[in-house]
Structure 1
């Protein structure tokens, strides 16, 4: 009977410790990051006010394209599409959400989120808008606004790389040199909130209308490695130590007890 009691005392703390170890000790990791535009303006300057010709521009066709790619928990998936009208687009998977929305010229946003990430996660969200513009003679055209780059990370993470960016281009249809600008959060740990002023322009100093394509590309990329292994809570260590002390005391009592004949 005494040996059975000792066995129960020995097994008790071990089972209690195993029950705690089976619980998710690490916080679920969650990352969310995105890229969008704000305070967008298209404005012009008259290069020759005295010539009687008004400065200006005309908006033509607008096209929007979206591309999503992710890899998580052994699953890899992607989706993409091209759209003319305002709308939204999304790709969802295990622990993953990726989305984009757009309206008229200069209205676009992309975002990607993962959580809980019990495995390595890699995501790439890309959105692009192209706008055909006819620029009047003797006109300086400027497209300006704010590049809004955000990133948030929660929970326990072992490591990762995260980046949001904006790329701008103006491509003249007559073969003149392309004008480009690039803005980025740079690869970084989550938790950034950046508002970067941008501007890009094109000058038509000729006497005829010049056609250009304004395009911008919003990207959000993230790589998150596995969460760190959980560390047992202090209560778990206390229960284990208490059980071992009880077992030691019981074994010592058995060893010194007098033998009795049956």
Structure 2
């Protein structure tokens, strides 16, 4: 094998391979030569490390994807930019931390918007988790149940459901800076969780989940009201991930969720796509957890 490789590389004396055991540093020297010849960058390089962090946080903020998908995009990003890959454990630790930061930023942003819109709104949302006396279900569980019959009584109950959800006036919340797919994740979680579990969630995560699920129900409630023919009057406006469509205005800047505020991610979705799902938008060269 050594002779075959030596012939391919034009090395007359294949026995020089033994020198690798004599000078341990030689392997590193050759790696450095290869790096310089092909213009690769060290992962620890301050400039490239900053660009990579900006990309990773931007990707986590604009895409509701799992840790494996984010890890794969991180590796692809490093390869395309000729950055030497660190050990697997380095990225394996970094990816969950970045996703956690993005989730925390999402929860804080949504809960803050709820408080600014109506000071009592967070408390009113939490109150829906309590079970009224004489009832088997909490108010949230009642609001989550769409009408299943087409009788006159069901029609009245459907309208009452619309009024109950609309009373929160969630349209006043300013959430255009949040990508719609990021709101879909907490909404799905709250739709499938029992009220007792949601009540035990910590703030601001609890308020964020309740806000997201109530916005989801608000978008679907009117469409589920039976019409004269016994079928829903309207379709349900959703994005591809089952979330109500609340599109941000064009050109809205999304703040980078990292502490320190490096960079601004433009728009809810990136303009360019990398293989396998696209890459996060970035400034210069370059925010899922329940």
TM range (shorter): under 0.3
TM-score by length of 1: 0.26
Max Rg structure: 1
More strand by share: 1
Which structure has more helix as a fraction of its residues?
Answer: 2
